[in-house]
Amino acid sequence: SIASSKPSEIVGKEGINAADMAIAAARAKRDAIVAPYYEQAGKVTLGADVVTEISKDPLVARAAKRVGNDPVYQRKLQGMAPDSVAYWQQVKRNLDAGASKAQTAGDKTAGREYIDAAKQLNEKLAAASSEYAQANAFYAKTTKDIIEPLENSVVGVIAKIKDPNAAKVAAKIFSDPNISLQELSNARATISKQNPEAWNGLVRQWMSQKLNAAMKETQTASTVNAAGKFRQSVFGTPADKQRAAIMLPSGAVKDFEDLMYAAEKLASTPIAGSNTMRDTEIKDQLKGTGAVIFKWLTSPRKAVTEAAEQRALEQGTVAITEAFIDPAKRRQLRTVVKMAPSARQA
């Protein structure tokens, strides 16, 4: 299946279509899994005060009238009363449809208003019904388990690229270490213009691939210089460094190089007693999951072996690669570069 395909196999128009179909199939699977939970929540009757409150929003009120007058929605509701959660679920779907239609038409203002109205309606239904809140929570968990891994993979990246030639070059980034600078430049120009997030996703995947390799490969039987291996995998040759300069945002190449040198220096400094102080300082500077990865990058004897460590690595990989794409997060990373190696001393 495409979910397990190599990037080099997901190319051209057929590859884009296959990627779209894979994600659509995953969403259909998720929807089928959570459907019983929403069906149960739909039977809940809302209080008159709740119905009055949610009807105050003009977009919600108009959507409710449309649901009441549309035989398609009425057929789906199968006689469910206007004060049922099921009825207002259909109202939310009408709002979602309005948002999609507005966005397709290029009306960003209307799209935002529809999205906000649907979001507020969803929150009010969850506040009024614990069953609906539980269904939402299960939906979020299932999305995280089934959809997000696919969307965050090369499949998700390819699905966002609509130009077959650009998709082919995107796949080559992962499979051909000698991809030309011109091909990279053209691909970035095309993909960024079409969908900036698609290019950012491509960069995340590319860096994640290299970081994963650096974290898993041992340099000797007992020592892992992950930061050095990560830097080498990105800047192995002058040509590799030129490719990285095209892939990464402006200024990110220097930040990346400085950070990896700083990590190497910290890793090579002998630990006197406990390294708790050093780890605490890193966490204070980086915050969040990125701190977990930087801890690994600066540990001279740390290998990723257990399943829990692997899951944390995957989460941290996303965090630290995202940090090189986001200018604000890169500024945060720069603070770590200024840390003295003596920070390792307890």
Helix (H) or strand (E) holding 330: helix 327-337
Confirm if 121 and 91 have CB atoms less than 8 A apart. yes
310-331 exposure pattern, b = at least 16 Cβ within 10 A, e = fewer:
eebbeebbbbbbbbbbeeebbe
Single out the residue of 327, 198, 313 nearest to residue 254, CA to CA.
327
pLDDT at 48: 95
Burial of 115 (0-12, 13-18, 19+ CB in 10 A): middle
Burial of 14 (0-12, 13-18, 19+ CB in 10 A): exposed
CA 16 to chain centre: 19
The rounded distance, in Å, linking the Cα atoms of 252 and 290 is 16
The rounded distance, in Å, linking the Cα atoms of 258 and 309 is 26
HSE-CB at 82 with a 13 A cutoff on CA atoms is 13
Helix (H) or strand (E) holding 285: helix 276-286
Beta carbons within 8 Å of 207's beta carbon, 6+ residues apart: 234, 321, 324
Burial of 251 (0-12, 13-18, 19+ CB in 10 A): exposed
The rounded distance, in Å, linking the Cα atoms of 287 and 295 is 12
Burial of 268 (0-12, 13-18, 19+ CB in 10 A): middle
13 C-beta neighbours (distance < 10 Å), count:
13
Beta carbons within 8 Å of 31's beta carbon, 6+ residues apart: none
Structure tokens given for 72: 């398609």
Tens digit of each residue's pLDDT, the chain (346 residues): 444 444 444 444 454 566 777 788 889 999 999 999 999 999 999 999 999 999 999 999 999 999 999 999 989 898 899 999 999 999 999 999 999 999 889 999 999 999 999 999 999 999 999 999 999 999 999 999 888 877 777 677 777 777 777 777 777 777 777 788 888 888 888 888 877 777 887 887 788 777 777 766 544 444 456 667 777 778 878 888 888 888 888 777 777 777 776 666 655 554 444 455 555 555 554 454 445 455 555 554 444 455 555 555 555 555 666 666 677 666 666 665 555 555 444 3
Structure tokens given for 285: 């500077």
The rounded distance, in Å, linking the Cα atoms of 152 and 157 is 7
pTM of the model: 0.56
CA angle 99, 101, 102 (to 5 degrees): 65
The rounded distance, in Å, linking the Cα atoms of 116 and 128 is 18
DSSP labels, 292-306: HHHHHHT-TT----S
Alpha-carbon dihedral sign for residues 122, 128, 133, 135: negative
Helix (H) or strand (E) holding 111: helix 108-128
Helix (H) or strand (E) holding 169: helix 164-175
The rounded distance, in Å, linking the Cα atoms of 249 and 330 is 11
